[in-house]
Amino acid sequence: AGSSVAAGAALAISVVVARIARHRERLITTVGRTLLRERARRLAAESALRREREMRVALEARLRETGTSSV
């Protein structure tokens, strides 16, 4: 009984491996696309934060020039 279980497990594993091999290219492109999308989203968020920080610095400099204390 144990050997048939092992044989069944080996067959199941080989089926899964074959399926992964068949879908590997699609998996790779999907994962790659997801990573690129996440990277683009992170870069956009970072640049938005940078712009916000630059605007705040410029505003504070302008307030200092006019003699008004910044909040």
In the chain, how many domains are there?
1
In whole angstroms, give the CA distance from residue 43 to residue 49: 10
Half-sphere exposure of 61 (CA within 13 A, CB side): 6
In whole angstroms, give the CA distance from residue 9 to residue 17: 12
pLDDT value of position 27: 81
Q: What is the 3-state secondary structure (H, E, C) of 24-62?
A: HHHHHHHHHHHHHHHHHHHHHHHHHHHHHHHHHHHHHHH
pLDDT band for position 26 (cuts 50, 70, 90)? confident
Full residue range of the structural domain in which residue 22 is found? 1-70
Mean pLDDT of 6-31: 88
Q: Are the beta carbons of 70 and 64 closer than 8 angstroms?
A: yes
pLDDT tens-digit series, residues 32-68: 899 999 999 999 999 999 999 999 999 999 999 988 6
Rounded to two decimals, the pTM is 0.48
pLDDT value of position 21: 85
